[in-house]
Amino acid sequence: MNPFTPPFAIFTALAVILALAFCLPCSLAGETDMPPPAMMIAQADAAGDTDDEDYENEYGDADEGLSDPLYHWNYAWYVFNDRVYLWLLEPTAKGYSAVMPEQTRGCVRNFFDNAMMPVRFANCLLQAKGRAAVDELTAFAVNTTVGIVGFRNAAEDMLLYEPQSEDLGQTFGTWGAGHGIYLVWPVIGPSSLRDTFGIVGDSFVSPINRLSTNWNIGLRTYDVVNDTTFRIGEYERVKQAAIDPYSSLRDIYVQYRDRQVAE
Amino acid sequence: MKMTFRSILALSCIFAASMQSLAGEASNALAVSVDKIFAILGDPEMKGDERKAERHSQIRVVLGEGFDYEEISKRALGKEWKKLNDEQRTEFIGVFSQLLENTYMSAFEKYSSEEVKYESERELGKGKFVVATKVASTSKMIPIHYNLMNRGGSWSIYDVKIEGVGLVKNYRTQFRKVISKKSYAALVKQLEEKVAKDSQ
């Protein structure tokens, strides 16, 4: 029925590997367990003069960053995703945004954001973020009613509520799990062992997964295309700025996720 | 909605005035550079493709004043920096700063109409500060943190973090990979080729 819900046997096996990932993050993940950069700067400064030695502490990279033992697998999917994005997804998004006004696309995005509330709510609870959980519930109630099933983000206008992205990967992170290893998945893109388990776990809570396969895939695709209309050109700029795009993207993923976990 | 140059000027004056009262020295120094860039981009005489080269050379000057390219290069290269002689260092700073300029230039061309909100300023010690700003894009507010240091009264930016992603760290990762897989010379060559290609 549902392609995103794996058989339980596989899930149990994954859970065992995840347990291992919790035990091994320090040795595997390298810098990902370091405190946030700002803290490191403070520490480095407190430690003494800011000479060259301190830079090494400040950026805390004994190795190249997140460990990447599956480099060839990851690189192949990186190339695949690059083509899918540039040749298929972005042209589709461009065409779609040419016929669909920005306001409508904003409403569509609000609708999907609102529909995914259970995932964020569950993770707020798992991270013991009481205030954020209450905000999520309030925003959901307001957006579903006043905001007409979520098409308008009425809560944000009224309550100055800023929806925070929360997912299971971040929850594992706040519990102290490192990334494990870097993983690139087709279509999904950059991820890590930890965040892959997060995606699988979140899919059990996601309301879209309650729908039939066709609706599920259809709506997900629509959500991705709609979202892409707000990011046209971003990927190209990242690539243009990079001297080694693959390792740049990997680093961006790690830094971005570490900040989300720290928040 | 199109803003006239005058209203942009008026707005930036109000903005600059409010900045003085609420924020510290580092934010002020940053705001001066940011406002200069917005002034160039907002100048009606500087618009259009035919004025692109002139616009870019003016922005390049502001960026050169605002960024400490030597400090950024040093941090991005890490241990490798110590192995270089003065001549090599100058060469590296030259080519890397061009790459950074090109990157910023293409971002500015895209985001000329965005507003910047200065949120907070925090001292890290030893004359270093982090200024937290937010920039409005089409879909959301993007947090951008600038690291500035004060050297003998003049401020310069030595790192930028966009949504938590640090510029120096990102280049460090890439440079490390190229150096370890190939060599330092190969890195410089790759940078030179990239800059030459992007500048065309």
Higher pLDDT, A31 or A229: A229
- Please give, rounded to a whole number of angstroms, the shortest distance from the CA of A251 to a CA of chain B: 6
Is residue B167 over pLDDT 70?
yes
Interface A–B counts its CB contacts (< 8 A) at 103
Angle, helices B69-77/B167-181, rounded to nearest 10 degrees:
50
Confidence (pLDDT) at B198: 80
Confidence (pLDDT) at B190: 95
Q: Tell me how far apart the alpha carbons of residues A4 and A216 are, in angstroms, rounded to a whole number.
A: 9
Contact between chains at B164 and A260 (C-beta distance less than 8 A): yes
Among candidate residues B48, B47, B163, the one with its CA nearest the CA of residue A258? B163
Owner of token pair 């298929």:
A88
Q: Tell me how far apart the alpha carbons of residues A36 and B77 are, in angstroms, rounded to a whole number.
A: 20
Confidence (pLDDT) at A245: 95
User: Which of the residues B68, B82, B148, B177 would you substitute to probe the A interface, choosing the one with the greatest number of A C-beta atoms within 10 Å?
Assistant: B177
pLDDT tens for each residue of B98-133? 999 988 887 777 665 567 889 999 998 888 999 999
Question: What average pLDDT does the structure give for chain B?
Answer: 84
Confidence (pLDDT) at B41: 82
Q: Compare CB distances from B166 to A233, A241, A255 and report the shortest one's residue.
A: A255
In the structure encoding, which two tokens stand for residue A239, read together?
A: 């690539």
End-to-end CA distance of chain A: 36
Task: Read off the amino acid at residue B62.
Answer: V
Among candidate residues B159, A250, B192, the one with its CA nearest the CA of residue B184? B192
- Please give the distance of CA A210 from its chain centroid, rounded to a whole number: 21
Confidence (pLDDT) at A25: 37
Q: Give the pTM.
A: 0.78
pLDDT tens for each residue of A105-145? 988 988 998 889 899 999 999 998 888 888 888 888 888 88
Chain A positions touching B147 (Cβ under 8 A) are: 41
| Residue-wise DSSP of A191-247 | EEHHHHHHHHHHHHH-GGGGS-HHHHHHHHHHHHHHHHTTSTTHHHHHHHH-SSHHH
Is residue A79 over pLDDT 50?
yes
Chain B positions touching A105 (Cβ under 8 A) are: none
Contact between chains at A55 and B163 (C-beta distance less than 8 A): no
Is residue A246 over pLDDT 90?
yes
Q: What is the DSSP pairing of strand B141-151 with strand B154-162?
A: antiparallel
Cα nearest neighbour of A251 on chain B? B170
Hey, is A7 helix, strand or coil? coil
Contact between chains at A59 and B128 (C-beta distance less than 8 A): no
